[in-house]
Amino acid sequence: MSDFLKIQGLQARIDADGTPKDILKGLDLEVPKGEIHAIMGPNGSGKSTLSYVLAGRDDYEVTGGSATFKGQDLLALDPEERAALGLFLAFQSPVELPGVNNANFLRTAVNAVRRARGEAELDAVAFLKAVRAETKHLSMSDDMLKRAVNVGFSGGEKKRNEVLQMRLLQPSFAILDETDSGLDIDALRIVAEGVNSLRSPNFSALVITHHQRLLDYIVPDRVHVMAHGRIIHSGGPDIAKTLEKQGYTQFLEAAA
């Protein structure tokens, strides 16, 4: 199935203090089932915007193009419907939820998604068992389950918490927006392992990163270069190495 995630001519803008600002300017991208793709691109090229638009954040206005996921019009769905359909976004800046117990948040989310997918909800015991297994894998302390969601978490803890959520929600398509930023090499390895172990013919991912380093651990099937709201070049994993050495200039010039 080649049109697992299919984006065509996608355009989106944001209202920046009253003046509309176009950010995505006709973006094309396909990620087939079972593949992991990477997106690299300079700051401000619209990578986070793309991930937000795919996840359904409604302060971005889609002004053209289309995005389908598993054959459905993704852009017509509410964020929670997209989650139920199997889409997951690991945020570049995870949001803090003061007073909301992390374990309770995770369980509410897991059960909401399970309900929507027609699966049985997990009771407290089953949930705790599942979550403990994952936290151990990710070298997270149990203490993080008792604290408020992301509140007072270090940068690395927040990212691990994103990966924990991803693993518990069992998506078929994960977008990781700079999940590697701010991680030391050990944390990076743990996070990469968290993604790699999900690899299967039924799991795809879009890994947004600045660093070749992450792609040493999560080897992508394809790499896309993004600039000015568009994919300007696509190729094999080697492009990442070229970028690391030579920067974006040659791609930008070629595209101009």
Ligand X SMILES: Nc1ncnc2c1ncn2[C@@H]1O[C@H](COP(=O)(O)OP(=O)(O)O)[C@@H](O)[C@H]1O
Which residue's CB is nearer to other proteins, number 18 or number 99? Answer: 99
- Only one of the segments 3-11, 13-21, 145-153, 154-162 lies at the binding site for ligand X (rule: CB under 6 A); that segment is 13-21
User: C-beta of 209: minimal distance to ligand X in Å?
Assistant: 11
Binder of ligand X out of 14, 55, 77, 112 (CB under 6 A): 14
Hey, how many other C-beta atoms are within 10 angstroms of the C-beta on 120? 9
| Interface with ligand X (CB under 6 A), residue from 3, 20, 21, 236 | 21
CB 213 within 8 A of CB 183: no
CB 55 within 8 A of CB 33: no
Residue 168 token pair: 């518990």
Indicate whether 47 belongs to the interface with ligand X (CB under 6 A). yes
Beta-carbon neighbour count of residue 117 at 10 Å?
12
For the bound state, the minimum distance from the C-beta of residue 43 to other proteins, rounded and expressed in Å, comes to: 20
The minimum distance between CB 148 and ligand X, in angstroms, equals 25
Judged by CB under 8 A, the chain residues 87 through 126 that form the site for other proteins are 88-89, 91, 94-95, 97-101, 104-105, 108-110, 112-113, 116
Q: Is the distance from CB of 31 to CB of 85 less than 8 angstroms?
A: no
Distance CA 117, CA 141 (A): 30
Closest approach, Cβ 225 to ligand X, in A, equals 12
Binding partner at 94 among Mg ion, other proteins, ligand X, none, C-beta below 5 to 8 Å by kind: other proteins
Q: Is 48 in the site for ligand X (CB under 6 A)?
A: yes
Question: How far apart are the C-alpha atoms of 91 and 163, rounded to whole Å?
Answer: 10
Q: Could you say which of 7, 35, 36, 56 contacts other proteins (CB under 8 A)?
A: 56
What SS3 class is residue 110? helix
Cα-atom radius of gyration of the chain, to the nearest Å?
A: 18
For position 48 contacting Mg ion by CB under 5 A, the verdict is yes
- What does DSSP assign to residue 211? -
Q: Which residues contact 57 (CB under 8 A, 6 or more apart)?
A: 79
| Cβ contact 50:207 at 8 Å | no
Task: Kindly state whether residue 59 participates in binding other proteins, applying the rule CB under 8 A.
Answer: yes
Torsion angles phi and psi, residue 232, rounded to 5: -105, -10
Q: Which residue has 């604290």 as its token pair?
A: 147
82 touches other proteins by CB under 8 A: yes
| Positions that interact with Mg ion (CB under 5 A) | 47-48, 92
| Positions that interact with ligand X (CB under 6 A) | 14, 16, 21, 23, 41, 43-49
| Positions that interact with other proteins (CB under 8 A) | 55-59, 78-80, 82-84, 88-89, 91, 94-95, 97-101, 104-105, 108-110, 112-113, 116, 148, 165, 169
